[in-house]
Structure 1
């Protein structure tokens, strides 16, 4: 879902009711995309599709409803949103640029899953290098997600002004929001992120 870089501008992102930061805000006009307003959970869900077999759900909780939406973020909720999405004309969509990265140490996680022998000194890893001296002391996974005008790159939304005028919808992801990237063919969640401050994401 490309945004035109010439339409990106500095705008306020509301961290809470008292604090805000200035961030690069992307803008796209006259977009028809899957949309759902979940009145039960008090949030708006927009799907942006990617080239290939992935899509991103951008979930914007109403002011003060983030905790409620987060607590409900279960597979059945994601299925409900996916099944309820309907194409809708969005007059203007505003989304901040951001980048997220994190490192995860996998030794303890893998050990809990029963993968332990690879970390033992007596493990035979000679098939990798031909030498028997090789041991695995640590395993780390790094996840990176960049959202910019050309789309989202993944390796491994604060105030939203929601207005309907004459059936026209404008969405501002200018307060904390959630993002879920899924593989569309097998309905597998690849990445979940909570954006509370795009400047420090």
Structure 2
């Protein structure tokens, strides 16, 4: 199941911008673009482990832009998908100087508004994206999956406001620092 590069990991991002950021920190694993709402997830190469990365929205008002949310489970595609090793990945990222939070990630089919944020936050979820559950659903059973999102917007930082571009650039720089932890996670699984 491992690829030609021997890493056994493929890193997925919705946007080319996100894939370009995470590629900066990857030594061997490929970063592929799965598209908005993971339209191309069915075309993922067969790998031993998959990581879904990119930008996300905070559901918890305590999470500020630039915080890395490491999912311990992915919700939104039926049965929640566990993400093995989330706490170890988070500790490694925090040791590298990043702000990190561990918790459930919800995949939505659209940009969420305030009312939905409150409902999902009350259910314990801390962040939202539009791809992770779709990617996880496209994987063969038993494939380990990791998901991490760098917060760009949230209850106190709405998406469609001035400042989003600045927050996005800062999030891009944070995302570029996550690749080594993802590769070490995949190597530990092997």
Tell me whether the two structures share a fold, i.e. TM-score over 0.5. no
Q: TM-score, normalised by structure 1?
A: 0.28
Bigger radius of gyration: 1
Q: Which of the two has greater helix per residue? A: 2
With CA pairs under 8 Å and 6+ residues apart, which has the higher RCO, 1 or 2? 2
Q: Which of the two has greater strand per residue? A: 1
